[in-house]
Structure 1
Amino acid sequence: MSRALLRASGIDVRFGGVHALRDVTVSVGPGEICGLIGPNGAGKTTLFDVLSGMRRPDAGAIAYDGTDITRRSPVWRARHGIRRTFQRQQLFGQLTVEDNLVVAQDWRGGLRPAARRHRERAAAVLHECGLDALAGSYAGGLPVGQAHLVELARALADPPRVLLLDEPASGTTAEERRALAVVVRHVADEENCAVLLVEHDVAFVMELCSRVVVLDLGRVLAEGTPAEVHADPAVRQAYLGAGPGSTEGEPPDR
């Protein structure tokens, strides 16, 4: 892997007496799709909050392209190419799908020539994501699976350098998951974007990602290729369901 584009080093986060993250180090490089998995309460979303600037860590640092951005705001990070989706969709429900993508670009200026370019870019991304037919639909009326795809499209509207995807396959159909995988691979391969993916669908992660990091109780439990992680006894016991009374490969719901 080339030099890490986004790197969290020695991250600690506490919520009162709860130690949510303990000395966590995670990185993702340009063109890489890295999976982040773990049981409920492992600290995955908390780590995403730290990476995206929504929460400042109690200890540790975040580096972006070699520069410390630990104290940078979420807005600064988003405008410099670090984009995030959410487990619970954060679409603008009263806007159309197309307008959700246009709004994501408006910070660059909305005068007439720019507005036209924003519309053209929105149309191109919707086509890439297979969402052309939904362009005029109001985002608030979409089912969960389509809403996840629209949120991904919005994150791509202004081309990202780092993409943080929080359970993008949740609530999607098999066809929607296939479309999602195609888009994520394209963004990583063709646009050299670094992708960090949190997902409970282990099969989806193992197929899509070249490297997987496992969190458990706020610590990094394991890291390696999908095959290495799947074969790790500690991971199988903590997460992949190898223990008594559980079904292998079917982690608990979040």
Structure 2
Amino acid sequence: MLTASEVTKRFGGLTAVDSVDFSIDRGEIVGLIGPNGAGKTTLFNSIAGVYTPENGSIAFDGEELVGKSPHEIARQGISRTFQTARTFNESTVLDNVLAGAAFGKKDSGSLDEERENVWEYLEFIGLEDEAEADASSLTIAHRKQLELARALASEPDLILVDEIGSGLTPAELGELSEDLQKTRDEFGISVFWIEHVMDAIMAATDRIIVLNQGEKIADGAPKRVQQDPHVAEAYLGGVEAQR
């Protein structure tokens, strides 16, 4: 579904993403890990059209994404969430999800039609009782759920999830991890997920990609990646982290 080849993004003299190759198949949940500054969010921003790579190709269903704007890429079938939830805080929960349906989908219906459609996503994520509340009244965990519901409302084929666990308790992260797995299982949507909480991402993903200093150093099943000595050295703190 998504194929990247030799993707390179620089900021002045700093190479944030260095000749990275990877692919994501339809129906996969793929994790992206690495130390702070490894280039993870820069790679996401390059996929989503926020940044334009200096080199390389990113193709989605065979169509080149490099050079397209974020709204074009969203309507092509890629949505995202953010490490710090970016909700429309003075709008209701319902209207936040409606924004995804009205502006993120390739073929949106009328606002009245989409207003009816988004209830499916509110109920899926468990926020239907908060539909008329302002987003500003929600907890951090519920705002992250709201972002996921808004992303789902755009009916994507792939969701980019950037550190959904940031600021959450282990129980809250566990619930959101289950939501991501249900997103794949019930809607058939692929998930590409950046996370620093190793227990969560190792348990919930089919495959892990590891970046270090902008380069891909591993790509494989979670257990195999966790046991990779290069990963242990770069990110997991040596052999003790494997125990």
Aligned to 2:94: 98
Q: Is the 8 A contact 1:22 1:218 kept in 2?
A: yes
The equivalences for 1:23-42 within 5 A come to 23-42=19-38
Aligned to 1:248: 241
Structure 1 CA distance for aligned equivalents of residues 131 and 113 of structure 2: 16
Q: Is the 8 A contact 1:6 1:64 kept in 2?
A: yes
Identity %: 40
Structure 1 residue 229 and structure 2 residue 225: aligned?
A: yes
Aligned to 1:182: 178
Structure 1 CA distance for aligned equivalents of residues 35 and 200 of structure 2: 16
Structure 1 CA distance for aligned equivalents of residues 99 and 65 of structure 2: 25
Q: SS of 1:164's equivalent? A: strand
Cα drift, residue 193 of structure 1: 1.5
Aligned mate of 2:43, from 20, 43, 47: 47
- AA partner of residue 13 (structure 1): K
The equivalences for 1:143-158 within 5 A come to 143-158=139-154
Aligned to 1:18: 14
Query: Aligned pair count?
Result: 239
Aligned to 2:115: 119
Cα drift, residue 248 of structure 1: 2.8
Aligned to 2:156: 160
Q: Is the 8 A contact 1:31 1:191 kept in 2?
A: no
Cα drift, residue 33 of structure 1: 0.2
Task: Structure 2 unaligned segments of length 5 or more: list them.
Answer: none
TM-score after normalising by structure 2: 0.93
Structure 2 CA distance for aligned equivalents of residues 26 and 94 of structure 1: 39
- AA partner of residue 225 (structure 1): A
Q: SS of 1:215's equivalent? A: strand
Structure 1 residue 220 and structure 2 residue 230: aligned?
A: no
Aligned mate of 1:61, from 57, 61, 69: 57
Q: 1:145-201 deviations in whole A, cap 9, x for unaligned?
A: 221111111100121101100011222233332332222112212322221000111
Q: 1:74-128 deviations in whole A, cap 9, x for unaligned?
A: 1111012100111122111110111101122223556xxx333322222211111
- AA partner of residue 131 (structure 2): A
Q: Is the 8 A contact 1:7 1:64 kept in 2?
A: yes
Structure 1 CA distance for aligned equivalents of residues 180 and 64 of structure 2: 27
The 10-residue stretch of structure 1 (167-176 or 211-220) with the greater mean CA deviation from structure 2: 167-176
The equivalences for 1:61-80 within 5 A come to 61-80=57-76
Structure 1 CA distance for aligned equivalents of residues 235 and 69 of structure 2: 33
Report the aligned-residue RMSD.
Answer: 1.6
The 10-residue stretch of structure 1 (23-32 or 45-54) with the greater mean CA deviation from structure 2: 23-32
Q: SS of 1:195's equivalent? A: strand
- AA partner of residue 127 (structure 2): L
TM-score after normalising by structure 1: 0.89
